[in-house]
């Protein structure tokens, strides 16, 4: 895959079900499902801004929690 960071899953012993399970976990961890859901339809600027602010606040709270645990 050129120019992108593709998700790669190896299929071992023709076990496609296991490979699909691994693929789904990797996609979930990388946030691909969230991006697909967001880009499925047009999002108004105000809604997009509110979502981005909420995500930033969530990241900030998570960083504070990690910092408190480290002390």
pLDDT tens series, the chain, 71 aa: 355 567 888 899 999 999 999 999 999 998 888 888 888 888 899 999 999 999 999 999 999 999 998 76
Q: Are residues 47 and 66 in the same domain?
A: yes
Q: How many CB atoms lie within 10 A of CB 7?
A: 13
Report CA dihedral (31, 63, 68, 28) to the nearest 10 degrees. Answer: 0
Q: Are residues 8 and 24 in the same domain?
A: yes
Whole domain around residue 35: which residue ranges?
1-40
Q: Are residues 28 and 4 in the same domain?
A: yes
Predicted TM-score (pTM) of the model is 0.53
- Which pLDDT score is estimated for 20? 93
- Which pLDDT score is estimated for 7? 81
The tally of domains found in the chain comes to 2
Q: Could you tell me which residues come within 8 angstroms of residue 10 by beta carbon, excluding any fewer than 6 positions away?
A: 19
């Amino acid at each position: 895959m050129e120019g992108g960071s593709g998700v790669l899953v190896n299929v071992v012993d023709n076990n496609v079900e296991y490979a699909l399970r691994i693929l789904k976990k990797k996609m979930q961890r990388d946030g691909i499902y969230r991006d697909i859901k967001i880009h499925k339809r047009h999002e108004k600027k105000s809604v997009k801004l509110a979502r981005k602010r909420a995500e930033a606040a969530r990241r900030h709270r998570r960083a504070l929690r990690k910092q408190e645990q480290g002390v």
